[in-house]
Amino acid sequence: MSSLLKTRNEGKQQKQASPQEQQRKIDEVRELLGDLPTEMPSFLSDGTIRRFLRAKNWSMEQATKALKEAVKWRRQYKPDKICWEDLASMENEVRRAYIPDYLDNNGRTVFAIMTSKKSLTSTKEHIKQLVYNLEILALSSKDAQEKNVVWICDFHGWTLSTTPLWETRESLHIIQNYYPGLIGAAILCNPPKIFESFWKIVKHFIEPMLYDKVKFVYSNNSDSQRILADIFDLDKLEFAFGGRNTASLDITKYSERMRRRDQIRGACKDASGTISPSGQRIQSTT
């Protein structure tokens, strides 16, 4: 446990920018992007550009380059077209990774992962579900200048086969390159001793700015409990993460919520651009 609690201070000190300076940089990056904001107006919003700028320590050149790479990836992967109905084995997979209906004490969206739930799908489907959730999370944080996402993961029952190294590297690549700055805190709960060897490898793929946001918490550690109580309302936080909420995820209500979010983000359109009331694709009869 002691080795996991160690931190590194390799990152450069984060620059601060006034609201006026932020908007000036956002406007200049928008100009540097040329016609891309017209091609992807929803993605290249002020909120997204600000997030990339902050992740690149307010360097307009680096943020512009990163945004162009993200646009290139989005053209190919089309993350904005993934909708709830596309996710395989939804009930089991959603119980492994989902967005709870509560916020943390700072008003940030929460993303929960339970590794104790055995996956029934392929790595490709895991990545697809991750991207779907990242799209939802990015939308939730779109207009928030400082509020982002709290990622919390329960490592009960974790083994080396639970999360393949390739999948972990690919997930980190997507998070850090195409959704930079989205994660405000990463809380890893009760990783077993065997996780330490895995972490020694994985941490080299994590950028310093994200690495500094990682916290390890343990149910038998009083300092860990204070960390959780500072971040979460323990009456809302699930028991698996150290909270007092013993209710299980209601898949029916969760499905309805995700379909509504799909409608908001404009996913799941048919050829005519229509979204069904349920959020499902409307099959053409012609």
For 135-157, how does the pLDDT look when each residue is reduced to its tens digit (9 = 90+)? 999 988 765 556 789 999 999 88
Residue matched to tokens 């690149």: 56
pTM of the model: 0.87
Residue 102 domain boundaries: 86-265
d(CA 100, CA 176): 22
d(CA 184, CA 148): 5
- 99 and 57, same domain (yes or no): no
- 204 and 72, same domain (yes or no): no
- 69 and 90, same domain (yes or no): no
pLDDT for residue 235: 97
pLDDT for residue 91: 73
- Contacts of 10-14 spanning 24+ positions with Cβ under 8 A: 10/208, 10/211, 11/207, 11/208, 11/209, 11/211, 11/212, 12/57, 12/208, 14/54, 14/57, 14/209
- CATH code at 205? 3.40.525.10
* Average confidence (pLDDT) over 46-62: 95
- Would you place residue 266 in the very low, low, confident or very high pLDDT band (cuts 50, 70, 90)? confident
Residue 284 has pLDDT above 60, yes or no: no
Residue matched to tokens 């492994």: 96
Last residue of a domain, one of 42, 77, 112: 77
- 90 and 44, same domain (yes or no): no
Residue 208 has pLDDT above 50, yes or no: yes
Last residue of a domain, one of 77, 102, 125: 77
Task: Look at residue 129 and tell me if it is in a domain.
Answer: yes
Instruction: Give the pLDDT confidence of 82-130 residue by residue, as tens digits.
Output: 999 888 667 777 888 999 999 999 999 999 999 877 777 888 898 999 9
Task: Look at residue 200 and tell me if it is in a domain.
Answer: yes
- 211 and 133, same domain (yes or no): yes
Backbone angles phi, psi at 226, to 5 degrees: -70, -35
- 55 and 169, same domain (yes or no): no
In the chain, how many domains are there?
2
d(CA 78, CA 120): 24
- 145 and 229, same domain (yes or no): yes
| CA torsion through residues 128, 131, 136, 139, sign | negative
HSE-CB at 203 with a 13 A cutoff on CA atoms is 19
Task: Look at residue 33 and tell me if it is in a domain.
Answer: yes
Task: Look at residue 273 and tell me if it is in a domain.
Answer: no
- 254 and 163, same domain (yes or no): yes
Last residue of a domain, one of 77, 94, 115: 77
- 162 and 51, same domain (yes or no): no
